[in-house]
Structure 1
Amino acid sequence: MKKPSAKSKKLPIKWYYGGISGTLAVSATHPLDLAKVHLQTSKAQSKRFISVFVKVIKNDGVLGLYNGLSASILRQITYSFPRFGLHDWYKNTVSKKRKVSVVENVMAAGFGGAIGGITGNPADMINVRMQNDMKLPEASRRNYKSAFHGLFQVFKNEGFKGLFSGVTMTTNRAILMTIGQGAGYDQMKLILLSTNLFDDNPATHILSAFGAAGIATFLTQPFDVMKTRLMNAQVGQYTGLGHCAKDILLNGPLGFFKGIVPAFVRIGPHTILLFIIKEQLIKYF
């Protein structure tokens, strides 16, 4: 019997590989996420992410770039495990019987993203607030000591409902992010391998992840901007989603794509690291 080639060999994907990969990747890319949050909550149009890094280091030192890391890791645990887990579980289940269609792949990614967006919303909100806290006047800072302290303070002061502030935006963004990253990666990899110019190796994984990151960034940026604004808002600042969108539109429609460069700079490395780690987990375990 002919031994399967690197291009055709199918390896099992455990449901938790994506969550582990996302958690490890975010530990390296957290400073980029912090810069993105600072840009999205700023009303200044001329700010650049490099200036954010300089300002944070100047005011809070290098460790300031990792402000909110505990919340970022908790977010990945509550967000990436379900979104990639459900997506991969569906693909594994169906692929035992037949080939998974593109539409099915997109729908499975979207469903996984929706669940992940809901379960990850509380930690995501704390992550945004902790990252943005350092740029606020001392009297306005929330001063969360950790992700769990932040969750407790939100529950205490804003109630259970407060933990899901911005959940509509988080869920919509998570759906599009998982479609872009999960289904997008699968399709990009399939296209590259079908040309017979690429093998199933790290170079192909990087190119596929780079393309997936571009798709995910473009799809999610408007929702990401509104999500960040809603989560970081003081109680009563916005009456709803429409009010938030109107506030952003005061500076023009490009306000919905504010911070798209640092968003891609963050999502790109994160997506590449995520899928490199995930592919290695598949290969070795």
Structure 2
Amino acid sequence: MSSPSPSPSPPVQKKQPYPFWLGGVAATIAASITHPLDLTKVRLQASGDKRMIESIKKTYRTAGARGLFDGISGTWMRQMSYSLCRFWAYDESKKLIGAGKDAPAWKLAAAGSMAGGIAGFVGNPGEIVMVRLQGDFAKPPEKRFNYKHCFDALFRMVREEGVSSLARGVGPNVFRAILMNASQLASYDFFKAELLKTPYFDDNIMCHFTASFAAGTVATTVCSPADVIKSRIMNASGPGSSSTLGVIRASLKNEGALFMFKGWVPAWTRLQPTTILIFLTLEQLKNGVDLSRRHGYTWV
């Protein structure tokens, strides 16, 4: 008499992908918290302010605590266009080139570069709106745009400067986005994977914090030159003032090569907590999605 054959093991269910908008939500939360530092960085790059603390004091003295959140609607527009797109495109690019869990750094950087190119183009209008709203108060009253909010800025740009104004600075912005995603997103994945190979880290908040701290420092240094040039071009308003080469020549002549790292400290001070907050928030949002799905909420 033959023994009964063992019952087949249940098939392993493939894990569902996370919602594409998680990265955009995480970035919006992080950018809202660090907005005063981002505002200071833009004003240092585009105005005559010299030091971060003095610039913050000047903003507080002239506009109060509310002034530290000037242009917050532009920040939200930028994050829900550029950042949402870059996280989605990064995940899709990793699938396209086969960059799995233990992918080499060059594959992660390639996926980040592809995502940056797409997101930099898609998010360019939001980037311009954010920079103009943040930099407006640092200008003399007669040179200000005086936009009410992000949508007012968008509509007035099209009406007063033409649709082509939405592409102002798109070259350096796409270049910066490529650098940012190749350094920030790829660095985070790389450092996280390397940390998990050691006996000192598990896949928890300490690992996420350490990997994001390293990624933020790498990203700030790599992106600083393109970030400065982008801010100066986007904040310009006169005819012929949007030429990338023109801005570089004028800046080199007046300030020397170190102009490319002007505002590095506030950029690092802003990007470091922003990077940490983005990835910590994103990991917690993913945990929340996993928890919801375990309880049967399949819409997330």
TM-score calculated relative to the size of structure 2: 0.87
Residue 33 of structure 2 corresponds to 28
Percent identity, aligned pairs only? 39
Paired residue for 2:148?
145
Distance 1:57 1:99 in 2: 47
Give 1:12 deviation, angstroms. 4.9
Shift, 1:237, TM fit: 4.9
Partner of 1:271: 275
State the one-letter code of the partner of 1:217: T
* Counterpart residue number, 1:226: 229
| Structure 2 unmatched runs, 5+ | 1-14, 290-300
1:53-89 alpha-carbon deviations (Å, 9 max, x no partner)? 1000100110001110001100001101111111123
Please tell me whether residue 281 in structure 1 is matched to residue 281 in structure 2: no
SS of the residue corresponding to residue 66 of structure 1 reads: coil
**3-state SS in 2 of match to 1:279:** helix
| In 1, Cα distance between equivalents of 2:258 and 2:228 | 11
* CA–CA distance in structure 2, aligned partners of residues 265 and 97 of structure 1: 31
Q: Distance in 2 between matches of 1:211 and 1:103?
A: 17
Give 1:235 shift: 2.2
Q: Structure 2 CA distance, aligned partners of 1:17 and 1:110?
A: 20
Contact kept, 8 Å, 2:78 with 2:126, in 1: the verdict is: yes
* Aligned structure 1 segments of 4 or more residues deviating by more than 6 angstroms: 93-98
Aligned mates of 1:205, 1:43 — CA distance in 2: 37
Return the match for 1:108 from 102, 111, 126: 111
How far apart are 1:276 and its partner, in Å?
Answer: 0.3
Q: 2:206 aligns to what SS in structure 1?
A: helix
CA shift, 1:18, in A, is 1.3
Counterpart in 2 of 1:39? Answer: 44
Deviation at 1:115, TM superposition (A): 1.0
The counterpart of 2:219, out of the listed 216, 224, 228, is: 216
What one-letter code is carried by the residue in structure 2 that aligns with 1:226? Answer: I
For the residue of structure 2 that corresponds to 1:61, the secondary structure is helix
Equivalent pairs, count: 274
With over 3 angstroms needed to count, the CA separation of the structure-2 counterparts of 1:98 and 1:260, relative to structure 1, is closer
Shift in alpha-carbon separation, 1:259–1:160, aligned structure 2, 3 A = same
Letter matched to residue 142 of structure 1: F
Tell me: CA distance 1:106–1:150, structure 2 relative to 1, closer, same or farther (3 Å): same
DSSP 3-state at the match of 2:73: helix
- 1:125-181 deviation per Cα after TM superposition (whole angstroms, max 9, x unaligned): 111111111121211111000100001111011111111100111101111111111
Structure 1 residues without counterparts, runs of 5 or longer: 1-9
Q: Aligned residue for 1:246?
A: 249
Alpha-carbon separation, structure 2, partners of 1:226 and 1:183? 23
